[in-house]
Chains A and B, each alone.
Chain A
Amino acid sequence: MNAKGKKRSKWRRLKIWLPVVLVVGGVFAYIGWDRGFRVHPEPDWVMKDEATRFMYASIGAEFEAGIPYWILYVLPRVFPEKFPGPGGFAAFGIPWEQGMELPVGFTQRTIGFPRVSNNCAVCHTATYRTSPDAEPVIVPLGPGHTSNVEAFLKLLVDCAKDPRFNADNLMAYIAMATKLDVIDTLLYRYLIIPITRKTLLERERQFTWVYNDAYPDWGRGRDDAMNLTKYFMIEVDPPDDGTYGPTDFPSIWNLQKYDSPADDPNPQRLNLAGDTWDAYSVVMDSALGLLGGAPHDNDEFVAHVQWITDYAKRTPAPEFPFPVDEALAAAGRPVYDANCAVCHDSDGDLVGRPMPLAEVRTSRDRLDTWAGKYAAQANRVVEEMGLERRGLVEQDSPGYNPPHLDGLWLRAPYLHNGSVPTLRDLLRPPGERPATFYRGYDVYDPVDVGFVVQGPEAERWGTLHDTGRKGNGNYGHEFGTDLPAEQKEALLEYLKTL
């Protein structure tokens, strides 16, 4: 055979095999895309109404931060000892409506395979009961005072570190819950489980400060928000700069109260220390925290952020669910006007604007976790993602914002760090406020105005808040603490109506 003939036969062989290779490759590529990356729409019911959307609709966090559904599903069975108590995901205190597949704020998307992530509701949905036998009432946009987010974050890392987090073990438990087909079985065994493990372990270093025993746990209803931003968004290294300032999850209802007139020379700012210019920016930055990276699709993400902002702006706070003594409340009104309104009244000049710390003298730890220079860096990160927002205030803040007081009753415990359990305690001088208490139990105490924080049930469900530990101080805000008793009583009654 001559060279030409050889070439021709090679070519002929190629002509035969190339299509085969292409077809087989194509099939594999299709399967890989279909089972690994194909984006399926969410079910219709997540858009059923606004509350449902807020609590259950995805904001796109499944792409980067999603946990494969079946891995998440078996964690309570494989690693029950790593949960904060018996009860699976309910042990994190996140509200969970009976009959729903997962707790509030847990979202699902099928991106090749079902993945679970979170939306804003995981930290911003309140739950309360009017008595231990009563049904829980779930309030979207309310402060997630029961949610133990730190324990959940740690769980994922701690499970990944456990040698039992391997394909053999997890697959054995998955096989008790569902039957995966051959392709999904192979994917889970050889790709999804190992990759998930690796991804979770990579997070560990970023959580250095969370594992630092010198600091107390966040406890239920709090997170160390600005440090999270520092160590995850702008990747300050090492992820423990000695500051620590966990704060209560805020209520995010009625955000329109922050809309100052366009010509206001000193407009209101959001975040506890006025760290952010407007509601839209806060929502976007918080949502980016859940995403764990740049959005998969900027337009889609912006639409989510815009909707959440609008929903949060126009939805009012819930009313106090117990009877109010109207006459007493009326008597409390002048006390409020005389003592509180100057800082907290929604029409005032001071509300929603940073106030020098020296005037309030509450714990400065949260203030120390943030600075204007970080704001500049964070703004740059977000800008590089191609997202537009007014963003974080690129200057150091002098102190905390006096907050608006709408829905105050459901915003216990009080002060920015949740260090004072009830309004009654807040009207006491710091020395008489409880030094320790349990936060995160959902039975309400209408007398002291706050949640039940002592007793066996509070101890069982709550986490201990020790005001002596870093970030937890309950001092400051000594306003109204020396009012006569009957005026305090009247004021308390009035505050229930806000």
Chain B
Amino acid sequence: MTATDRSLDTAPEDAQRRRRRLLLKIAVAAVVVIGLLLVLYLGCRFLTERPVTYDTMADHFKYGSTRGDLLTGVPVWIWQAMPLVCADILESVTGDRLAPDYRDRVARYSSADDAAERRRALSREGYKALGFLYETDADGRERTLPIGTTQRRSLGLDRTYINCAVCHVSTVRQEPEGPAELVVGMPANLFNLYDFEHFLFECGKSSRFSFLQLAPEMAALGADLDLLDEYVVYPLAIAGLREAINFLEDQAGFSVRQPEWGPGRNDTFTNNKVFLYGYPWRDLVPDYWTTGEVHPENVGTVDFPSIWLQGKRKQRSDGRPMQLHWDGNNDDVEERNLNASLATSALPPVIDHEAIECVELWLEDLEPPAWPFPIDRQLAARGEPIYRQYCADCHGAGGRDFTGRWVGYVTDIDDVGTDRYRLDNYTGTLAANMGMTYAKQPRRQQAHPCPDGTVYRPRQPRGGDGAYGGSPAGGYDEPAGAPATYDSRVAAVEAEEDSYRYTHYRKTNGYANSPLDGLWLRAPYLHNGSVPHLRALLEPSDRRPVTFYRGNDLYDPIDVGFVSTAPRDRDGRGYFLFDTAVPGNGNRGHEGARYGTELPPADKAALIEYLKTF
């Protein structure tokens, strides 16, 4: 204390008290202000909740969020670190899709200036082995995240998860050395959802999925974590993520008991069984991997479908919408989309209806690209009458004209004769339970703009005359529809509820007759992708390939399908060997005189040429 101070000591006690009080006030004010600032900062940092949005519908489709990332979003740095931290798991899951030296390269760190970028490239290479596709941005650099993944800021993290595009975008090459052209809306023939899920589950369960293991890898990738990130945010996020991944495995892990799907395929409805009634897949008997057999209801593996021109699918010959899904179990585009969105973790309480509705609107008119190779017009013209005679009734007048007596109806299984696992996988029990999904979620009525400036306008409240189903008559005339009284009851319920609840799911007894838009890009053929190309589809099943390779994006314009005979790509990475003897993979059916497999070779050639114009 100075002398002056001491002299002040003699001042009256009142003044001193006043000063102390003032100091106290200042201190309190400071604490309050700092506290407020802190709260403001933390609030901005952790309560900010917004997706990355896009200006075009194509980008919205490829990268836009369904809001599933709010539930199971993986922090982007962790997403990038996973293939590196879990390189061994990635190798065991993907097998020879991964370069043999991948793990060695992952194990070697660089101290060069571009070390972080090299790490990131290595991470992307890992995802490419799962079939993910990366676009390049304006300066020619690959994007951080692949097609079909979203980005959202939430809980102070940039998080990502899959969206619709992961299963409905792919590439096609016209020549081995040529560029891979991206096609939006085609089946994701390269994406291996089975491998991706198992990689996610196994990595999430492994001891390496911990902050201690992931943090150094994130740093090597270029992450710049602050103290809060390092001590609070990421440790909590990783703990939460482990739980989320475990839960996801409980939901979707059933495929471990099924034959491997291979790229471009998925078992949709077993997911619904688990989601709705905890289908006990761990108890599935028999287990394919120990017995080589499966229960007739436990395999529903099918190709990802193309999703172009949905608008035209809203009407068929009787004025009703076409029956959608491979077995025609639903005729309502909205319900079909909501159900597909469940796979992106967009559960009823979180789903971004506007985002989905914009995609629904955009897909109404989205067209597939035209056949890029030359067409022998004369030969195609000869094929047209053959198509009209054999195919048009069930598959439509042409590639863009979907009119036809039985287009969008279900053909009885005994008639079409294709593999019945998928049909039997969708049980009546499941169809009934589907009616609980989205229960008590009222439909939104607002029109809203979409990224490309179009406006989505909700339909009028649903519900109609109630007629539903119906099967081709003449040769196969058993009506598949339920008794009209009960459908009129469901229609009345639907109109009054006006909710998102599924009311259109029905058990059918066959497979749906689909329009053939973009047919050339929809190989391999049949619902389970068991026939590699159109030429083989026009052969009786005993002359179709017994095994072939899936996952190549090189196109074969002669046979009309993707190249299916090469076991490896130019870099020596293997394709998936598809075995039609495996349960669910059967390639029989859609054959016989009426299906064109007994046509003379010249007629088949003409028909195939004509189908190229679709």
Q: Please state if B492 and A80 are interface contacts (CB–CB under 8 Å).
A: no
Does B428 count as interface, using CB distance less than 8 angstroms?
Answer: yes
**Beyond A77-B276, A90-B429, is A51–B485 a contact (Cβ under 8 Å)?**
yes
Q: Please state if A99 and B279 are interface contacts (CB–CB under 8 Å).
A: no
Interface size class of A (residues with CB under 8 A): 35 or more
How many of chain B's residues have a CB under 8 angstroms from any CB in A? 45
Q: List 15 A-B contacts (CB under 8 A).
A: A76-B276, A76-B277, A78-B278, A83-B277, A87-B427, A90-B432, A96-B433, A97-B482, A98-B435, A98-B506, A98-B507, A135-B507, A137-B483, A178-B348, A178-B440
7 closest Cβ contacts across the A-B interface? Answer: A80-B278, A88-B277, A99-B490, A96-B432, A76-B277, A179-B349, A87-B429
Does B455 count as interface, using CB distance less than 8 angstroms?
Answer: no
Q: How far is the CB of A43 from chain B (nearest CB, A)?
A: 5
Closest residue of chain A to B495 (Cβ to Cβ) is A45
Binary A-proximity of B252-282 (CB < 8 A = 1, otherwise 0): 0000000000000000000001011111100
Q: Please state if A90 and B505 are interface contacts (CB–CB under 8 Å).
A: no
Tell me the complex Cα distance, A48–B276, Å.
Answer: 29
Tell me the complex Cα distance, A48–B466, Å.
Answer: 14
Tell me the complex Cα distance, A78–B247, Å.
Answer: 12
Q: Please state if B279 and A80 are interface contacts (CB–CB under 8 Å).
A: yes
Does B40 count as interface, using CB distance less than 8 angstroms?
Answer: no
Q: How far is the CB of B282 from chain A (nearest CB, A)?
A: 11
Tell me the complex Cα distance, A127–B434, Å.
Answer: 19
For chain B, residues 492 to 528, give those with C-beta under 8 angstroms from any C-beta of chain A: 492-494, 496-497, 501-507, 509
- Residues of chain A within 8 A (CB-CB) of B509 are 133
Closest residue of chain A to B488 (Cβ to Cβ) is A48
Tell me the complex Cα distance, A98–B348, Å.
Answer: 20
Of the listed residues B431, B483, B489, the one surrounded by the most CB atoms of chain A closer than 10 A to its CB is B489
- Residues of chain A within 8 A (CB-CB) of B347 are 176-177
Does B46 count as interface, using CB distance less than 8 angstroms?
Answer: no
Does B441 count as interface, using CB distance less than 8 angstroms?
Answer: yes
Tell me the complex Cα distance, A86–B492, Å.
Answer: 30
Does B486 count as interface, using CB distance less than 8 angstroms?
Answer: yes
- Residues of chain B within 8 A (CB-CB) of A475 are none
Tell me the complex Cα distance, A48–B481, Å.
Answer: 21
Does A101 count as interface, using CB distance less than 8 angstroms?
Answer: yes
- Residues of chain A within 8 A (CB-CB) of B482 are 97-98, 135
Does B23 count as interface, using CB distance less than 8 angstroms?
Answer: no
Partner of A114, one of B428, B440, B481, B504: B440
Q: Please state if A48 and B277 are interface contacts (CB–CB under 8 Å).
A: no
Q: Please state if B431 and A98 are interface contacts (CB–CB under 8 Å).
A: yes
Q: Please state if B506 and A99 are interface contacts (CB–CB under 8 Å).
A: yes
**Beyond A80-B280, A81-B280, A102-B436, is A48–B489 a contact (Cβ under 8 Å)?**
yes
Q: Please state if A52 and B489 are interface contacts (CB–CB under 8 Å).
A: yes
Q: How far is the CB of A177 from chain B (nearest CB, A)?
A: 6
Does B8 count as interface, using CB distance less than 8 angstroms?
Answer: no
Q: How far is the CB of A144 from chain B (nearest CB, A)?
A: 16
Closest residue of chain B to A172 (Cβ to Cβ) is B247
Does A342 count as interface, using CB distance less than 8 angstroms?
Answer: no
Tell me the complex Cα distance, A271–B373, Å.
Answer: 78
Does B439 count as interface, using CB distance less than 8 angstroms?
Answer: yes
Q: How far is the CB of A220 from chain B (nearest CB, A)?
A: 15
Q: Please state if A99 and B505 are interface contacts (CB–CB under 8 Å).
A: yes
- Residues of chain A within 8 A (CB-CB) of B502 are 99
Main secondary structure of the interface of A (DSSP, over half): loop
Q: Please state if A73 and B436 are interface contacts (CB–CB under 8 Å).
A: yes
- Residues of chain A within 8 A (CB-CB) of B481 are 135
Q: Please state if B277 and A99 are interface contacts (CB–CB under 8 Å).
A: no
Q: How far is the CB of A441 from chain B (nearest CB, A)?
A: 13
Q: How far is the CB of A108 from chain B (nearest CB, A)?
A: 10
Closest residue of chain A to B466 (Cβ to Cβ) is A99
**Beyond A45-B492, A83-B277, is A103–B432 a contact (Cβ under 8 Å)?**
yes
Does A138 count as interface, using CB distance less than 8 angstroms?
Answer: yes
- Residues of chain B within 8 A (CB-CB) of A77 are 275-278
Tell me the complex Cα distance, A98–B434, Å.
Answer: 8
Partner of B278, one of A76, A103, A114: A76
Closest residue of chain A to B492 (Cβ to Cβ) is A45
Does A175 count as interface, using CB distance less than 8 angstroms?
Answer: yes
Q: How far is the CB of A351 from chain B (nearest CB, A)?
A: 32
Does A162 count as interface, using CB distance less than 8 angstroms?
Answer: no
Q: Please state if A43 and B435 are interface contacts (CB–CB under 8 Å).
A: no
Does A432 count as interface, using CB distance less than 8 angstroms?
Answer: no
- Residues of chain A within 8 A (CB-CB) of B490 are 97-100
Q: Please state if B486 and A97 are interface contacts (CB–CB under 8 Å).
A: yes
Beyond contacts A78-B278, A90-B429, A102-B435: 10 other A-B pairs, Cβ-Cβ < 8 A, are: A52-B489, A52-B492, A73-B436, A80-B277, A88-B276, A98-B431, A100-B489, A135-B481, A135-B483, A176-B349
Tell me the complex Cα distance, A91–B432, Å.
Answer: 11
Q: How far is the CB of A68 from chain B (nearest CB, A)?
A: 12
- Residues of chain A within 8 A (CB-CB) of B505 are 98-99
Does A434 count as interface, using CB distance less than 8 angstroms?
Answer: no
- Residues of chain A within 8 A (CB-CB) of B501 are 101
Does A136 count as interface, using CB distance less than 8 angstroms?
Answer: yes
Closest residue of chain B to A174 (Cβ to Cβ) is B349
- Residues of chain A within 8 A (CB-CB) of B503 are 99-100
Q: How far is the CB of B353 from chain A (nearest CB, A)?
A: 13
Closest residue of chain A to B468 (Cβ to Cβ) is A99
Q: Please state if A100 and B483 are interface contacts (CB–CB under 8 Å).
A: no
Q: How far is the CB of B320 from chain A (nearest CB, A)?
A: 15
For chain A, residues 84 to 133, give those with C-beta under 8 angstroms from any C-beta of chain B: 86-91, 96-103, 114, 133
Closest residue of chain B to A98 (Cβ to Cβ) is B431
- Residues of chain A within 8 A (CB-CB) of B433 are 76, 87-90, 96
Tell me the complex Cα distance, A178–B500, Å.
Answer: 12
